[in-house]
Amino acid sequence: MTLGQRRWMPWLYLLPALGLLITFTYVPVGNMLLYSFTSWDGLDVTMEPAGLDNYVRVFTDERYWRVFLVSGYYFAASFVQIAIALYFAVILSFETRFRNLFKGILFFPYLLNGVAVGFVFLYLFQPGGTLDTVLGGIGLGEHTRFWLGDPDVANISLAGTSVWRFTGLSFVLFLGAIQSIPGEVYEAAEIDGAGRWHQFRHIIVPGIRRIISLSFILAISGSLSVFEIPFIMTGGANGTRTFVVQAYETAFQFRQIGLASAMAVVLLIVVLIVTWVQRRLVPDEEVQLT
């Protein structure tokens, strides 16, 4: 092999991956920045510069900044999700009857098709549907309402659906992390007289700190990029429009590519800042890829 051959050889292997990476991630990010300063409709040959107009609109027009408030519901819900997942991951890490069955049941929703989940919960929440029947059955009949039609509760219903769908993912991540803590640590703690709660506080939580902080990152970027649940279940009606639903409508229904790009840039910046802050707070010492 000549030296010249050696030099281009690794690039040959990297070419497909790099080509795809640049074409479908880096070029779009660059283009998006460019479009965000224009009033392009996606069809015109020329792009009219628009300065900061699109950004001003995203931050001043209620239709656009309201979607951040909607994200708040999903963000709050992710705390519920993490708490439920952590509780069940801890109890299922120790001796429990039918452990594998419960593990399977808890995790299963995560594998389901998003459209299917949307339909399952549309059915559950419809007037006179499953939820209303169950509430009536246990004597809470007066609490029934238009779960998806009432703007005061619609987002809570949708965020609840999101908790149902994603708790299994957090659960499996926590379970894996807890199981990587060596068993002797618990034994030693038990000899020292530490109860379950102390074991949880002083062994489990520090042992899985990394995965807990990763879950919060996923929760933040996840709650900013919610799309399927509101799109399928309410179509964004009754005040349930999220950032991505709004961006989708702006770009693909109203053909305001410039404005939609500005929204996407704002979203991207928020996600990057959040990730950066998290990396600062919890340094990821385990990244060593080469």
The SS3 call for residue 236 is coil
Nearer to another protein, 191 or 289 (CB): 289
- Cβ at position 188, least distance to another protein in Å: 22
Instruction: Please state, in angstroms and rounded to a whole number, the distance separating the CA atoms of residues 177 and 188.
Output: 19
Amino acid at 199: Q
Residues 6+ apart with CB under 8 A from 218: none
- Cβ at position 185, least distance to another protein in Å: 20
Nearer to another protein, 154 or 257 (CB): 257
H or E element, residue 72: helix 62-91
Residues 6+ apart with CB under 8 A from 161: 117, 118, 121, 229, 233
Nearer to another protein, 151 or 235 (CB): 235
Nearer to another protein, 136 or 239 (CB): 136
Nearer to another protein, 73 or 164 (CB): 164
- Cβ at position 212, least distance to another protein in Å: 12
- Cβ at position 113, least distance to another protein in Å: 5
Token pair recorded at residue 131: 């939820």
List C-alpha distances in Å: 42 to 71, 122, 235, 245, 288.
28, 34, 23, 18, 42
Nearer to another protein, 74 or 228 (CB): 228
Residue 38 forms beta bridges with which residues? 49
Please give the backbone phi and psi of residue 49, each rounded to the nearest 5 degrees, phi first. -65, 145
Helices 257-281 and 209-224, interaxial angle, to 10°? 170
Instruction: Please state, in angstroms and rounded to a whole number, the distance separating the CA atoms of residues 144 and 237.
Output: 20
Nearer to another protein, 154 or 264 (CB): 264
Helices 53-60 and 257-281, interaxial angle, to 10°? 70
- Cβ at position 20, least distance to another protein in Å: 4
- Cβ at position 162, least distance to another protein in Å: 13
- Cβ at position 278, least distance to another protein in Å: 11
